[in-house]
Chain A
């Protein structure tokens, strides 16, 4: 004979056990998942300082920030003019040159191609007078904007500030 109250009780217990099991496993998985996220010492290396006083017009340096390359280019007047001219061209990822620099002469870029993360080659290697990514042929202009090739976005401008006229601090302190 089936006792209905007993049946309901059993169904409830099975459901409750299942729910606790699933929630418990999910909670227990969290520390394991989080252990893959950047550790405290990695996060602590959030900023990098660079001295630009030795940089002359037309010169470019590469410095590491969080293990990634940063291009700092002292742009020539011609390169600045080229960048401004292209403001009105049809851009895959439209941005004005003035929104991508703090001081017109210094172009600061996170030098990882927005396609699949290769480091583009130095200034002057690509069409549009800019940077060529050798991996799959993306061309960036003298403002680091994508102009041609598979990359979807402009080279990102990292967060940076000028500590004084010649010292740049890249990254936000955490």
Chain B
């Protein structure tokens, strides 16, 4: 065995790589459980690709067959129901994990120097994930699939001048139809592999600058401050995967439709829109932002789209908006309050996005559109406030520990 490894290592240094990048890779000893979510995300990506590949072996991207073929997978294909429920619920858990992973980075200042590029790759992955989730949701070709696709592709018409022609090009016709379904399927198949490639770049950038940690301070003494990745973090990551699997499998086996919309079990009908269209839950805060801009007359549509896209793009400049000398919000009381307002506000926006546009709260006293507009202001306000609080030194950071 060791003879064989020697032979291989002389030609491609695998053992070195495994040692320096995995088993003996120095990892901050104070990482808490929020650091589990990266490995959880990778685990979900692998599950999605695996279940997706096996679904693809039965699926047919044809407007006349797609709906029935998903039912065929559910009823006739051996364990087809399991593949589909793992895949459909997998998307939900993938997004829960990614949102926690992003919030983790925002709280502990992991986007700060020298991790900006690492952070940007993450935001690109998030973007592509949203695209993949959207495209995948079209494939079962139910009413929500169809009308979700119609509403989202229609956002393209907001592009000045060429919008109308562009959307016809994207559809391959004059409406969402067979050609659209077929190309969406191909892209849904392709994007996860692009994501996979970007995850490798993400890891590369991570291993170049190393993990941040809850205290947000740099490693002073590698011997004292770090532990080898194996066995300390392999076991911790495995534990996290165990917990995830219990919750995820509970949904798959006992509440597989909890996150799916009943309307999506009605075949797509281009002649009739369901009374209430909702996107998948993981788009809801952004959907609420889109809808909240309705007071600018004929500019509303374009402005809504810009606000929605801007809500993600703003993450790119976050590393430059935060000017504090300290990374971790553990030692930044003001930033920490802002952060929790941001989290609560995001959930509130999600709730607004889930409800019909003209819904009200408190017996009609509060139209939700008002909440949506306020929430949108708070969403972007977070980034402005974080800049103000740090750039003008309004926040007085607490003293940092000398070492981990």
Contact call B169/A134, Cβ cutoff below 8 A: no
Contact call A42/B294, Cβ cutoff below 8 A: no
Knowing A38-B174, A118-B151, A119-B271, the reply to whether A150 touches B277 (Cβ < 8 A) is no
Q: A38 is contacted by which of B168, B273, B304 (Cβ under 8 Å)?
A: B168
Report Cα–Cα, A10/B274, bound state, in Å: 65
Contact call B301/A115, Cβ cutoff below 8 A: yes
Question: What's the nearest-Cβ distance from chain A to residue B178, in Å?
Answer: 9
Asked whether A21 is an interface residue with its Cβ less than 8 Å from the other chain, the reply is no
Asked whether B221 is an interface residue with its Cβ less than 8 Å from the other chain, the reply is no
A120 surroundings in chain B (CB, below 8 A): 273
Report Cα–Cα, A33/B151, bound state, in Å: 23
Question: What's the nearest-Cβ distance from chain A to residue B292, in Å?
Answer: 10
B291 surroundings in chain A (CB, below 8 A): 136, 150
Contact call B273/A119, Cβ cutoff below 8 A: yes
Report Cα–Cα, A62/B293, bound state, in Å: 31
Report Cα–Cα, A136/B300, bound state, in Å: 12
Asked whether A30 is an interface residue with its Cβ less than 8 Å from the other chain, the reply is no
Size of chain B's interface in residues, with CB distance under 8 A?
A: 40
Knowing A68-B270, A135-B273, A135-B357, the reply to whether A38 touches B179 (Cβ < 8 A) is yes
Question: What's the nearest-Cβ distance from chain A to residue B97, in Å?
Answer: 29
Q: Give B132-186 interface residues, CB cut-off 8 Å to A.
A: 147, 150-155, 157, 168-177, 179, 183
Contact call B271/A62, Cβ cutoff below 8 A: yes
Render B267-278 as a binary contact track against A, CB cut-off 8 A, 1 for contact: 000111111110
Contact call A137/B358, Cβ cutoff below 8 A: yes
Question: What's the nearest-Cβ distance from chain A to residue B369, in Å?
Answer: 9
A119 surroundings in chain B (CB, below 8 A): 271-273
Q: B175 is contacted by which of A33, A67, A133 (Cβ under 8 Å)?
A: A67
Asked whether B297 is an interface residue with its Cβ less than 8 Å from the other chain, the reply is yes
Contact call B151/A42, Cβ cutoff below 8 A: no
Contact call A69/B270, Cβ cutoff below 8 A: yes
Question: What's the nearest-Cβ distance from chain A to residue B57, in Å?
Answer: 26
Contact call B294/A149, Cβ cutoff below 8 A: yes
Asked whether B337 is an interface residue with its Cβ less than 8 Å from the other chain, the reply is no
Asked whether B2 is an interface residue with its Cβ less than 8 Å from the other chain, the reply is no
Contact call A36/B169, Cβ cutoff below 8 A: yes
Knowing A36-B183, A116-B154, A150-B304, the reply to whether A64 touches B270 (Cβ < 8 A) is yes
CB < 8 Å A-B pair total: 98
Q: Give A24-71 interface residues, CB cut-off 8 Å to B.
A: 33, 36-39, 42, 62, 64, 66-69
B300 surroundings in chain A (CB, below 8 A): 150, 152
Asked whether B32 is an interface residue with its Cβ less than 8 Å from the other chain, the reply is no
A18 surroundings in chain B (CB, below 8 A): none
Asked whether B78 is an interface residue with its Cβ less than 8 Å from the other chain, the reply is no
Contact call B168/A118, Cβ cutoff below 8 A: no
Q: In this complex, what residue of B is CB-closest to A115?
A: B301
Q: Give A106-121 interface residues, CB cut-off 8 Å to B.
A: 115-120
Q: In this complex, what residue of B is CB-closest to A150?
A: B294
A116 surroundings in chain B (CB, below 8 A): 150-152, 154-155, 301
Q: B173 is contacted by which of A64, A66, A133, A149 (Cβ under 8 Å)?
A: A66
Question: What's the nearest-Cβ distance from chain A to residue B352, in Å?
Answer: 12
Asked whether A93 is an interface residue with its Cβ less than 8 Å from the other chain, the reply is yes
Q: A66 is contacted by which of B154, B175, B293 (Cβ under 8 Å)?
A: B175
B153 surroundings in chain A (CB, below 8 A): 117
Q: In this complex, what residue of A is CB-closest to B149?
A: A117
Contact call A118/B173, Cβ cutoff below 8 A: no
Contact call A38/B173, Cβ cutoff below 8 A: yes
Render A69-96 as a binary contact track against B, CB cut-off 8 A, 1 for contact: 1000000000000000000000011000
Q: Give B67-93 interface residues, CB cut-off 8 Å to A.
A: none
Contact call A153/B270, Cβ cutoff below 8 A: no
Contact call B275/A117, Cβ cutoff below 8 A: no
Contact call B301/A134, Cβ cutoff below 8 A: no
Q: In this complex, what residue of B is CB-closest to A119?
A: B273
B169 surroundings in chain A (CB, below 8 A): 33, 36-37
Report Cα–Cα, A137/B367, bound state, in Å: 13
Report Cα–Cα, A134/B170, bound state, in Å: 25
Q: List 18 A-B contacts (CB under 8 A).
A: A36-B172, A37-B168, A38-B179, A66-B174, A68-B175, A92-B297, A115-B301, A116-B154, A117-B157, A118-B150, A118-B273, A118-B277, A119-B272, A119-B273, A134-B274, A135-B151, A135-B273, A150-B300
Q: Which residues of B contact A (CB under 8 A)?
A: 147, 150-155, 157, 168-177, 179, 183, 270-277, 291, 293-294, 297-301, 304, 356-358
Q: Which residues of A contact B (CB under 8 A)?
A: 33, 36-39, 42, 62, 64, 66-69, 92-93, 115-120, 133-137, 149-153
Closest 10 CB pairs between A and B?
A117-B154, A152-B298, A67-B175, A66-B174, A150-B294, A136-B357, A116-B154, A118-B273, A119-B273, A137-B358
